[in-house]
Structure 1
Amino acid sequence: MTTVSIIIATFNAAKTLSKALDSVLSQTYQDWECIIVDGVSKDNTINIVKEYVQKDSRFRYISEPDKGIFDAYNKGWKIAKGEWVYYLGADDCLNEKALSEIFVNKLDNFDVIYGNVIIAFSNGDVKYQRPYSPTSLKYKMFACHQSILVKRDMMEKMNGFNIVYPISADFDMMQRIYLNKGIFKYMDTYIASFAYTGISSKFSFKKHHDHYVICKANKSNKCPLFYYLLHETRLYMGYLHKRLLNRI
């Protein structure tokens, strides 16, 4: 069995995809496969993918209509051959030694491996971010999905991502794993560079509301509405604080 399946969902990703695929190809750890799940791109994405498939048989792909990124991710893990599943964005980069640093350890008893991530902003700035404790999953997402690997058996046990949540299905998945006594293991290594662009960089009331709905549906805490309102109040106060500072 392959150790890890790296899954990349694409749609019109020709401008950034080569960089992501190069970061997979340059891994010092060799026991991987990379599955590109394309949503019938209209640009040069598939031609780029085919070039990498010809370079290395560990790359493979499918291209067909989907219902969003988490539907594509579900297609990916279902055909994955790896013991572990990792999701990389089409505009992100996997750190060269990340997999080597993770799989040098014995991981048989764990369901989720998580680490650190480098956030790359569009203005060139970077931020080195460590995750929260998995206990925070009772209320909020604890880490970027680019810093998380999940055992494929656990993905299957959870029936994959719930595409009812088109923005927050990763939070729902992680929360359900946590509530079902999944065993988490932290690795103090920077797994990927995450491009803070597109939907990731935009404030979304829907995303925050979805988190409340998910907490309520999963019964993750006793007062989901209280924690939702508390979180929204903090965000709003932070927004006002920034506006005031900009005026000074």
Structure 2
Amino acid sequence: MSDRTAWNDGATALSSCTDCGLYRVCFSRRLGMDEAEECAVVHRSPVPAPAGGTIAWDPGNLVVLRSGAVKRSRCTRDGNELIAEFFLPGEVIGLQTGEKAAADEAFVVLERAHYCEMPWDGVHELMAHDPGVRHTVSEILLESLSVSRERLLRACRGSARQRVAAFLLDLVSRRERTPSPTPHIRLAMDRREIAAYLDLTIETVSRVLSRLRREGTIDLRGRWLRVCDRDALDELAEGGALPRSIA
């Protein structure tokens, strides 16, 4: 079972953006660019990034992740890691205009990745000549801000069970947007990274996952996750309680 069966792994250059398995959820497709515009704007030769490496993101570029996973993180003075967000295939690093990473922040590759680059200057040029593109970019930016805000709120409020449940639901919904989604998804992040993102301890994350597995809400084998009871996970994310038999 492999995530790479769900989309082109970016091992070779594309003759067109439409050849990419992620095209229907890609930023360039939502802009409605024709093939000539794609050639002018998108750097389509996927850039490889090994697990454990970093992506040297330039605020002047958009980075469209084609495979793998990336975390945006930094370390505190006492050596603890703080994780601001995760990026999955089809998602864009640097989408919010003017976004700048702090000097001590890094975009770390969690598992072998490939990505394309799209200079903001090219997007701005399209916006200047096409009102439709300008409107679409505005919609995408507003949507991105809204999603980021909701994701942040869910990650830092409520009980540990609420946070973990909401995190799993978010991962599943994001994976469902990719071509040919499967019932199982592979968690690119380990429990320590989940804990750092949710501001919990590793022990708490492990305890909640174990309870959800015993309840039958999820099936978790190693890093492979399958949601068995979506309604129960939804209820828990909204503050519902687990059955007393496992509380």
Both proteins in one fold, TM over 0.5: no
Structure 2 length-normalised TM = 0.34
Structure 1 length-normalised TM = 0.34
